[in-house]
Amino acid sequence: MNFIQTRGCESNKQSSVPFSEAILSPIASFGGLYVPEFLPNLGEEFLTKHLNSNYKELAYDMLKKFEIDIDDEVIKKALDLYDKFDDKNNPVPVVKLQENLYVSELYHGPTRAFKDMALQPFGVVLSSIAQARDENYLILAATSGDTGPAALETFKNSKNIKVACLYPNGGTSDVQRLQMVTEDASNLKVIGINGVFDDAQSALKLLLASDEFKVSLKKHNTLLSAANSVNFGRIIFQIIYHIHSYLELVRQNGINLGEKVYLNVPSGNFGNALGGYYALKMGLPVEKIIISSNENNVLTRLINVGKYDIRDSDVVSTTSPAMDILKSSNVERILFDMFGSERTKELMNDLEVNNFYELTPRELVKLQNSFDADFCNGNEGKKYIKETFEKHGYLMDPHTATCMKSFNTCSNPNIKTIAYSTAEWTKFSPVIANALTGEVDTEDINALVSISKEASLEIPETIKELFNKEIVHNVIIEKEDISKEILKFL
């Protein structure tokens, strides 16, 4: 299958490209993104067949449906990385919280957040293509805290790959920062930026589109790619776990095959939700995808009133920082799927020029056919964390907690919900400790200890040892100096 572009194609560019090309240079012409030419249909047969498969078998067959130009051996090697997750037989456990609410846990990989679901296999695929082509790549990653550690982990010591990882200084938890700045390998560079995540992501998009930067890289015999979810190579691995979670509900006798469910997704850049939408389009029985946000509630307003409006908005810092985003990149892929490339180009231009676009009433109806949305503020989130722990003995992180609000306000209780848990408690411990005990301590190390006592949970070794590791990256710079710093590294 080939990949086409969300904003249409400039006449001097190739109108469609194979998967390998789409992931090596993820920004298409006119600044658009790559999307599959069509979505394969799974059909009930596929679901029935995979009721008894394990995660890797399901993943392999799903990927084959896309007919991507990646060798079988590479796909298998990539999927083998799921063996490193907590339970080799099931990397994504689905836990029943109450009669109509299940939690799909996406955080059982090496860096304890859902970014591992896609970045682990993506790393193998990208580095294999680079080696096969005998090319060297610089992978840019902008992170609000979880993509960075996952990208560094997957590309550590990868052949033909160097990584430059940009994080907002002060915008991540201690654990997230330590996961990055202690990652020691000669092909990795971690850079703190004085700014917020949107600054890091904008800088990344500018560099990806800059011919001047590409020419400078060429002098180092290096090409440029990105590990953010603008890259379809990540999205493709994020369709799988939605199908898996659905099948888990069938296996647990929570639903009958064919029965519709809600997918409730804590959303920032919309990669996770887009994976759910593609699963729906491919035939997974989904009633709606419910988009959960924090106080940065642009997506809630888009879905409820049809306006993407960031004219007077600044990002606010919240208790769920991985969702502190105003320009949610993957919404563009939804616009394309629903309204086509001409309209997408128009809307995205409006957003770039005016920080605003508005859907027509008819377009809004179409969007609301597949999506619903609400947002949850930090205090409500902490209340849900405490309540869920006291009622069900279940500990959730502040991102997952945003789903509890929309579960109450958006869903019909007769339809079962799969809510996605995107991070382990260890990554956002100060907020959780505050929710459980009221303590106000900003140090992760103390919060981890107090939660582990309160909830009788072990702190995982990989988290404990972070606090004793040597810090190997200590560069903090202004965003204007990013390209200079990266070229110095090369």
Ligand X SMILES: *Cc1c(COP(=O)(O)O)cnc(C)c1O
Task: Rank residues 217 and 385 by Cβ distance to ligand X and give the closer one.
Answer: 385
Choice between 17 and 153, CB closer to ligand X: 153
State which residue, 176 or 341, has the beta carbon closest to ligand X. 176
Rank residues 36 and 254 by Cβ distance to ligand X and give the closer one.
36
Cβ at position 118, least distance to ligand X in Å: 9
Q: Which stretch binds ligand X (CB under 6 A): 94-102, 167-175, 197-205, 262-270?
A: 262-270
CA angle 223, 125, 178 (to 5 degrees): 80
Closest to ligand X by CB, 32 vs 271, is 271
Secondary structure (3-state) at 308 = strand
Q: What is the DSSP letter of 408?
A: H
**Applying CB under 6 A, what is the total number of residues that bind ligand X?**
18
Contact indicator for 121, 129 with CB cutoff of 8 Å? no
Contacts of 91 (CB under 8 A, 6+ apart): 55, 82, 85, 108, 109, 117
Q: How far is the CB of 267 from ligand X (least distance, A)?
A: 4
Q: Residue 195: left if φ>0, alpha if ψ -120 to 50, beta else—which one? A: left
452 close to 458: Cβ distance less than 8 angstroms:
yes
CB 22 within 8 A of CB 3: yes
Using the minimum distance from each CB to ligand X, give the nearer residue, 182 or 238.
238
* Minimum CB distance to ligand X, residue 238 (Å): 7
Sign of CA dihedral 258, 261, 366, 62: negative
Contacting residue, 268, 306, 381, 430, with ligand X by CB under 6 A: 268
Indicate the helix (H) or strand (E) that contains 189.
Answer: strand 188-193
Beta-carbon contacts of residue 379 (< 8 Å; ≥ 6 apart): none
Minimum separation from the CB atom of position 270 to ligand X (A):
5
Shortest reach from residue 121's CB to ligand X, in Å = 16
- Mutual angle of helices 398-410 and 378-392, in 10-degree steps: 90
| Interface positions, 301-360, toward ligand X (CB under 6 A) | 322-323
CA neighbor of 399 nearest in space, from 239, 292, 242: 292
Query: Using the rule CB under 6 A, which residue among 120, 269, 293, 296 binds ligand X?
Result: 269
What SS3 class is residue 3? strand
Nearest distance, CB of residue 251 and ligand X, angstroms: 26
Where b means 16+ CB within 10 Å and e means fewer, 380-413 reads: ebbbbbbebbeeeebbbbbbbbbbbbbbeebbee
Applying CB under 6 A, the span of 5-13, 260-268, 446-454, 465-473 interacting with ligand X comes to 260-268
| Measured distance CA(249)–CA(26) in Å, rounded | 34
The interface with ligand X within residues 389-448 (CB under 6 A) comprises 399, 422-423
Q: Out of 148, 149, 171, 266, which residue is the one contacting ligand X (CB under 6 A)? A: 266
Taking the least distance from each CB to ligand X, the nearer of 276 and 306 is: 276
Among 29-37, 85-93, 265-273, 305-313, which window interacts with ligand X (CB under 6 A)? 265-273
Instruction: Report in angstroms how near the CB of residue 316 gets to ligand X at its nearest.
Output: 16
By beta-carbon proximity to ligand X, the closer residue of 39 and 273 is 273
How far apart are alpha carbons 272 and 242 in whole angstroms? 9
Q: Return the number of the residue (2 or 269) whose C-beta is nearest ligand X.
A: 269
Considering only 110, 271, 381, 430, the residue that binds ligand X (CB under 6 A) is: 271
- Span near ligand X by CB under 6 A; candidates 268-276, 302-310, 359-367, 456-464: 268-276
Distance CA 173, CA 144 (A): 10
CB of 421 to ligand X, least distance (A): 9
Q: Which residue's CB is nearer to ligand X, number 146 or number 248?
A: 146
Q: Which string of x and - marks every residue 195-234 that binds ligand X (by CB under 6 A)?
A: ----------------------------------x-----
Residue 173 engages ligand X in binding (rule: CB under 6 A): no
Residue linked to tokens 């309204």: 339
Q: Min. distance of Cβ 158 from ligand X in angstroms? A: 22
Q: Least distance from C-beta 428 to ligand X, angstroms?
A: 8
Residues 6+ apart with CB under 8 A from 300: 291, 293, 373, 374, 375
- CB of 63 or CB of 113, closer to ligand X: 113
SS3 355: coil
Residues 109-168 touching ligand X, rule: CB under 6 A, are: 113-115, 146
The residue (of 115 and 205) whose beta carbon lies closer to ligand X is 115
Q: Are 195 and 182 in contact (CB under 8 A)?
A: no
Contact in structure between 152 and 180 (CB atoms under 8 Å): yes
Place of tokens 């200890």: 449
Interface residue with ligand X, options 120, 201, 222, 267 (CB under 6 A): 267
Cβ–Cβ contacts within 10 Å for residue 30, how many?
Answer: 17
In the chain the first and final C-alpha atoms are separated, in Å, by: 34
Closest CB 271 distance from ligand X, rounded Å: 3
* Distance of closest approach, residue 228 Cβ to ligand X, in angstroms: 9
* Closest of 252, 238, 245 to residue 119, by C-alpha: 238
- The binding site for ligand X (CB under 6 A) comprises 113-115, 146, 229, 266-273, 322-323, 399, 422-423
